[in-house]
Amino acid sequence: MRDRETIELALHAADTGHLVFSTLHTVDAKETINRIIAIFPNEEQNRVRLSLAGVLKGVISQRLIPTVDDKRVAAMEILVKTPTIEKLILENRDYEIKEAIEKGREHYKSQSFDQHILDIYNAGIITRERAKDYATSASDLELKMNGLNSAKAADRLNKSEKNGNVKVVDDDIFDLK
């Protein structure tokens, strides 16, 4: 979908019960939603936002990442419309979409690029450098690679503290000035 007329037709078809598949060249699911809405004049954007929030079922975005064996693997971001996603679209809170996608992974089978890239990296299919090159947030992905983002990491730390197995390494200590 490259122009306003095509997007308008697709929204109308979806509004009338037709299943619509389309392609749009964007970097991720959030940008796809923003591009659809932004192609319309400001005075029409609330109407389009309402329509899109009602008819959208999902967005699949992909990035092809070179593998360790010189092939390519698709990293996919999958947005599944949930009540939370619908509300975020309606309320123009696109900055929260990535977090909602990540939180919906277990229940709705949605996933962010960074979640899938981490899976591919952990499976040994891509290098650490390639993972960071293709991540939405390389610094956040690096933290996840080091196990510093999750409740699992906190659980490991709590168990280590209870067992007296906490080791402090000089690299872990820094001064804030």
* Run of H or E including 62: strand 58-66
pLDDT tens-place string over residues 99-108: 999 999 999 9
**Backbone φ, ψ for residue 115 (5° rounding):** -65, -45
Mean pLDDT, range 59-63, rounded to an integer: 97
Using CA atoms in the order 161, 163, 164, 166, what is the torsion angle rounded to 10 degrees?
-50
**Backbone φ, ψ for residue 88 (5° rounding):** -65, -40
What per-residue confidence (pLDDT) applies to 174? 47
> Vertex 65, ends 140 and 34: CA angle to 5°?
65
Mean pLDDT, range 42-58, rounded to an integer: 97
Q: Rounded distance, CA 75 to CA 15, Å?
A: 30
